[in-house]
């Protein structure tokens, strides 16, 4: 390869990562903001992983017909097969992912697991129990945490893997709790466990009415408690991740926990509107995260 060709490849790769950055910036400002302080290679790798997962998610959620959803996922699976065999599809996302694969020990099995999770949405059945919801969430979100692990952690121990998966699942629970009404009205999906909706006597008609009742609040808080437990499990391990990744990870936890508090402050109305965390609030959370990390690092040094 000549110097000119090498330069062209570098410039193309920069554009490919810019594309991935545009995807995360458009679809998840919270996630984008949280990881904006990583060094450039790690940040780009996060953007590429996110863009892959977003592509898989959109392939199902943006399609209107069942056959279209199936064909979209099959197409991505075929592209992933080519990628795994060394024949990288010539698109910005796959070229960026090839660079990530060459520089980080990412698992292709986890990329297939992400697609399997999207297949669950195609054949959607309301989870019977919280364990069924966790099984689903480990595929669509826990897999994301594990895909990011080689980027944000120097050593992939079993404990770190559990923490990364816990964070992904907790964030998925938070998304579900934020989007109860939107998921039901636009996608005809109820992710809240059937066992618990029955316990609190919450029906599809109740969700359709948009009325926030004490029983709905109690159900919502029961799922939120499961998310909080998983955030806590991750927080116990955060100081063992790469120092340059810790602030982004802390921000992810605090911003997503703030989403839960936003729903609470708005009288639990996640049936009629979608709560967000403002940029002003995120800036305050960043200052809080920096203080918390400093305190945790000091405590860990004496541990």
Query: Each residue of 205-243: pLDDT tens digit?
Result: 999 999 999 999 999 999 999 999 999 999 988 988 888
Q: Percent of the chain, pLDDT > 90?
A: 78
The pLDDT score that the predictor gives to residue 4 is 61
Please state the pTM of the whole predicted model.
0.89
Write out the chain in H/E/C secondary structure.
CCHHHHHHHHHHHHHHHHHHHHHHHHHCHHHHHHCCCCCHHHHHHHHHHHHHHHHHHHHHHCCCCHHHHHHHHHHHHHHHHHHHCCCCCCCHHHHHHHHHHHHCCCCHHHHHHHHHHHHHHHCCCCCCCHHHHHHHHHHHHHHHHHHHHHHHCCCCCHHHHHHHHHHHHHHHHHHHHHCHHHHHHHHCCCCCCHHHHHHCCCCHHHHHHCCCCHHHHHHHHHHHHHHHHHHHHHHCCHHHCCHHHHHHHHHHHHHHHHHHHHHHHCCCCCCCCCCCCCHHHHHHHHHHHHHHHHHHHHHHHCC
The average pLDDT across 49-69 equals: 95
pLDDT single digits (tens) 170-217: 999 999 999 999 999 999 999 999 999 999 999 999 999 999 999 999
Domains in the chain, start-ordered, CATH in brackets?
Answer: 10-123 (1.10.600.10), 125-294 (1.10.600.10)
């Amino acid at each position: 390869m000549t110097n000119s060709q090498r330069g062209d490849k570098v410039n193309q790769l920069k554009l490919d990562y810019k594309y991935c950055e545009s995807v995360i910036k458009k679809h998840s400002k919270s996630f984008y903001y949280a990881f904006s302080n990583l060094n450039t290679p790690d940040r780009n790798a996060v953007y590429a992983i996110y863009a892959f997962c977003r592509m898989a998610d959109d392939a199902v959620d943006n399609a209107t017909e069942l056959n279209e959803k199936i064909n979209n996922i099959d197409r991505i699976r075929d592209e992933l097969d080519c990628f795994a065999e060394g024949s990288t599809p010539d698109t910005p996302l796959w070229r960026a992912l090839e660079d990530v694969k060459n520089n980080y020990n990412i698992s292709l099995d986890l990329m297939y697991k992400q697609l399997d999770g999207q297949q669950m949405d195609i054949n959607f059945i309301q989870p019977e129990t919280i364990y069924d919801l966790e099984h689903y969430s480990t595929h669509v979100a826990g897999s994301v945490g594990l895909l990011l692990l080689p980027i944000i952690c120097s050593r992939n121990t079993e404990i770190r893997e559990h923490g990364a998966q816990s964070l992904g699942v907790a964030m998925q629970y938070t998304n579900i709790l934020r989007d109860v009404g939107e998921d039901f009205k636009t996608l005809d999906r109820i992710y809240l466990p059937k066992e618990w909706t029955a316990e609190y006597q919450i029906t599809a008609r109740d969700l359709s009415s948009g009325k926030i009742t004490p029983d709905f609040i109690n159900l919502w808080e029961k799922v939120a408690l499961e998310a909080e437990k998983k955030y806590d499990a991750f927080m116990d391990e955060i100081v063992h991740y790469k120092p340059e990744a810790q602030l982004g990870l802390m921000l992810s936890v605090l911003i997503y926990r703030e989403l839960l508090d936003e729903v609470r402050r708005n009288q639990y109305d996640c049936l009629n509107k979608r709560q967000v965390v403002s940029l002003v609030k995120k800036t305050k959370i960043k200052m809080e995260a920096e203080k918390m990390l400093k305190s945790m690092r000091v405590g860990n040094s004496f541990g």
